[in-house]
Structure 1
Amino acid sequence: MSTRFRTGMVVLAALVAVGAGLGVTLMKRGDSPSGSRASASEEEKRPWLVGLSLHMTTDDYGVYMSRAFQETLEAARVDSVITDARHDGQRQREDIERHIARRVDALVIVPTDDQLITQETNKAADLRIPIVAVTAMPGSRVTTTILGRDRDNGFDAGTILARKLGGQGKIMVLNTPTDLTRLTLRHEGFQDAIRGTGLQIVATRRDVSKEGCMAAVEEVLREHPDLKGIYAPFGTALIGAASAVRARDRKDIVITGIDADFEVLRLIQEGWVEATLAQYPSEHGRLAAQAALRILRGEPPLPSVDAPFKVVTRENAAAMARELWERELP
């Protein structure tokens, strides 16, 4: 492990716990982001360094995405440095400033509040640091965006919810407390799906932790005991919502959403979650790293790259646990 990495790396406890092995790989430097060739002495002194600014590592997405990101770069003999914003927008602003100070050659961002970090991302762009965004980041000068089909995923989750409820009943919506474009797109898609039905949104609550989302659902259930459905557009929201419903033994409440954490798949298999739209975090990490490598090698950057998805129900939850997490559901 290089001295540069040891002094610069922010230790991610969540990743250490799962053995992600954050560190530096073999040293290699080729074409600079501007396309000019570095001298042989520069190659010996400093390899390419690609930064990853993560939104959080408290869910399976962050852990597996960052692992695949690093493994892809290691295979290409490129160094990486990873920071965890812990779903704190101000912390992510500071993280990006640290990546800039480290003189990273490219920067991959999974934003926690994409509107809050535009000043920092555009500062990086001014310094000719290419940005790879793992979701839409309007306002930032991004070189490549890994597209996660957010609006369509929200539409599909809403369509499934409306169909299961027969187009009638009171529902609630969970969201994050931050200004996050990908969640806005998911919500817009969801609203498009239920427009013209008899579904009535009686409450919208904002939190990001499993415990906070669970408490929010419990509060709404006290206010609306006749609640029939919940839309939860990210993993911890799905887990929190299902935990609250399970505590009341309310299998009549239909839950749909987005993300397929291992715990979400288990809840689907047990019947507490009706369906979710699976993203592929490992594939997101691989695609983001490949996009950065393409830029660093002087190849024409791709403005956008489509990421895979899949609808998950009880019928394929066990197969998805093996496909996504290489684990068997109990």
Structure 2
Amino acid sequence: MQAIVMTATGGPEVLVPREVPRPRPAAGEVLIRAAAIPVLYPETQLRSGAFPTTTPPPMVFGFQVAGEVVDVGAGVASDLAGRLVVADTAGVGSYAEFVCASAESTTPIPAGVPVEEAAAAMMSGSVALALLETANLTGSETVLIEAGATGVGSYLIQLAREFGAAHVIATAGGATKIEHARALGADLVIDHREERWTDRIGESAPATVDVVFDSLGGASATALLAAMTPGSGRMLSYGWLTGAPAQVSAADLIPGGLTLTACAGAAWHGRVHRARADTLARVPALASAVETVLPLDEAARAHELVESRIPLGKVILRPSASA
């Protein structure tokens, strides 16, 4: 079968199409004929060496897949065979025509949901739902959603009012993304590429933010503290698109009675996984998250696109066997 092998850490060119043996499901696993493989921003960081991989190269790359279960291992219910599912791998193996994954990691794709849309929503939408549940919005609060035009942020904008946001502020980079975030439902969109963009929050009404969904991290997180509601303001930190986590200490939070929740770790990922079925059920009511579908052998090009941060939607790989 065709697969994409990460031959070393480095640029997108280290992702090389190769013929490899078709895997067989072990006990507790299923074998999936891949139909849609989402290209994730964190994958680009692993490929580049910015974050360590659990399996050293060379190895078949990839973390998530959507497709049909075609075989099951020992101990797995036989009625899973033939079902369309989304699934996580153990850290390798999804950029391939056939993918083994734990049966426990699979979530059925509801009838009527296109497999590409399910692949696009499985991570970003589930993270957004878990964040909104964690935020415990009251129905009268203002939220700030960083990087709101794409990925998790785009789902947060669309779902925030359902979960209790009264006013939605978003950030985005550049005119195209600003207009997209506005079209998704943000009341105010600020260009986070501007210097001192955090000062613009005071132009809104109300003038402070109750909840910050922080995906940028870095120094901007500290600058936002002054714009948060004293006594009840809370920041949920789940990403660092600037290259570093939120540069916030307890000494920064205590004077304003603010809180920061780190949305990471095993317990957090479990919460995200539990949100997946709800996420997939919501897909028909949400804006399409798929922007580009490329053949599997163009994985390097897909990584270039994701790293450019130009696409508004997900980049999906489609194996030739499913075309």
| TM interval, short-chain normalised | 0.3 to 0.5
User: TM-score when scaled to structure 1?
Assistant: 0.39
User: TM-score when scaled to structure 2?
Assistant: 0.40
Structure showing the higher helix proportion among its residues: 1
Structure showing the higher strand proportion among its residues: 2
